[in-house]
Chain A
Amino acid sequence: MKNLFAGMAGEPFPLPPGEPGRDTGDFAALLQARGLYPAAGAVLMGVPGAVGNAAHVPVQTQATTILAFKFGEGVLVAGDRRATAGNIVVYDRADKVLEIDQHSVMAIAGTPATAWEMARVLEHSFQYYRRTQLQEMSVGGKIRALSKLLRDNFGMVMQGVGVVVPLFATYDAGPNPEAKLYFYDVMGANFEVAEYAATGSGSPAVRGVLYYENTWGAKPLREYSRTEALRLVLRALDTAAEADTATGGVDRNGRIFPVIKIITAKGIETIDDETLRGLFNAGRHLPDQPVSAGVAVG
């Protein structure tokens, strides 16, 4: 097929009025037209033989822990800071909880290169839409935009690289104002979450903690105050890190705390490390003397 936009990248002006993205505010379409769309390579490099070949499908590349739940004020999204490659710790200050716009946060488990690029496309998509169309993209539209990015990336996933399993949290200011939380699978299916969600290698432990607290604890997560919610997040991540080497948890000595963001009607708030340090240290059982029987103390 003839590429209608060949040669366009170098001379972005003047453009025909019907260029993709112009009428609809679709930034991904604009990038595709200019040959700048990050996932474009996935299609070109698609190896037919790889499809359906289980050996090519990554088993566990989401080595991290991210979680989110709805509480009294809105929705809280948190992620540890560790980035790993196999059994190597690559980086201990990775930011996996990314602000996409003034009310939306995407938390990522998976391949950082792909995930950060997706976040970048998404951030620009929402702003491009608002600026060109002179209205905010609906929450439904935002959820779908991330779905589409994940689906476009699936060719890469089938080749064994670039798995991303994100959480997406936002505040819907529509007729029924409400905090919204979604998780995705690698193909881009989105699932709305009523209470809590966690993904990444440390998520089984976190889900255990959240399920337990939500079902049997003093009160359901939805009724938690900010302090209670923050305390629970720190404890849940610490619990995940206890067994999962790919989860950084809380490093008090290195003063590395998880990234925690709270989304309310007013916008996004990032919790500072001092607050987290105070909450984490209070009420923690520390042994009086070195423990001998197989219990590690952080």
Chain B
Amino acid sequence: MFEEPFRFVEAIANRREYIENQIATGSPVVALNYAGGILLLTLGRERQKIFEVYDRIALAAIGHPGDIERLRMTAIELASTEGFTRSAGDVSLRRMANYSISPALKQAFEQVYGAPYLARMLFVELGPDAGQNTFLRVDYDGAIQTNGTPFSKTRQEYAALSGTRPSAEAMERFLARDFKSGLALREALSLALDAWTVGFLALDAEGEKKDELPGSDAIRGARREQMENAAVEAAVLENRAGSNITFRTVSEEELTALRGNDAG
């Protein structure tokens, strides 16, 4: 039946709807530049969502844990073998996403008899300076969105990952309004947590207030409530003297400071 074009389109549309439903409840992830590098933050109760991929690359993902694991392993294998056979400097997020991960995701998505990957991923790569940090989102169908091309002069300094498009868009609108360059880690954590809260609220706010950002009181209230229900998971990519490894989990002490900070 798939020889007929419209059936193929229909099958793909069904598949898309199925996957969107599967990942719609995923807790959002925020990524943004701060003075030391890139911060990734989410809230969760069940499992780890933010992972180290290579010296300067990290990954956050929502979706089915089995699929996320396969994609995460693949990314680590690609980066590690490239870094081993050539050099760490040859490992590039752009190459990895464009030439390996995206084509494979697209192939799995369009082969309608096989299982697609139920995963939406946000990769970040620490560049030589803040202006060259890369945020790259890869969707279950292989679609890629980045914060800039190699030839673009200015790059967006944040990115959002969420289960639904309105939620991700709300987070980006919020960050477009409130993000400032060169934030200290503590401020960046607080801003990321607010952005997460905006995304979280937007997951439920389908329909009515889709285009409107919640007020700061609403954000603060929801943020406090959610921090009691779930744990904050945060990691950074930051340059460190004497080490090529930039990934670090944000410590419990750094997060405790955040809990006390009601000012938002």
Contacts and interface: CB of A to CB of B under 8 A. Distances in A.
Contacts, number: 57
Contact of B54 (A27, A36, A131): A131
A205 to B, nearest CB: 32
A101 to B, nearest CB: 8
A132 B101 contact: no
B70 A14 contact: yes
Tell me whether chain A's interface is mostly helix, strand or loop, or mixed: mixed
Those 4 A-B pairs whose CB atoms lie nearest each other, nearest first: A13-B104, A124-B84, A128-B80, A131-B76
B73 interface: yes
A30 B80 contact: yes
B76 A36 contact: no
B81 A12 contact: yes
A121 B80 CA distance: 10
B30 to A, nearest CB: 21
Contacts of A13: 74, 78, 100-101, 104
Interface residue tally of chain A, by bracket? Answer: 20 to 34
Interface of B: 48, 51-54, 70, 73-74, 76-78, 80-81, 83-85, 100-101, 104, 108, 242-243, 245
5 contacts: A12-B74, A12-B81, A131-B54, A267-B242, A268-B242
Chain B interface secondary structure, helix, strand, loop or mixed? helix
A127 B245 contact: yes
A283 to B, nearest CB: 30
A34 interface: yes
Given A14-B74, A131-B51, 15 more contacts: A12-B74, A13-B74, A13-B78, A15-B73, A27-B80, A30-B77, A30-B81, A31-B81, A34-B81, A36-B84, A102-B243, A102-B245, A124-B84, A130-B52, A134-B48
A245 to B, nearest CB: 33
A252 interface: no
Interface in A1-52: 12-15, 17, 21-22, 27, 30-31, 34, 36
A226 interface: no
Interface string A125-152: 0011011101000000000000000000
B74 A15 contact: yes
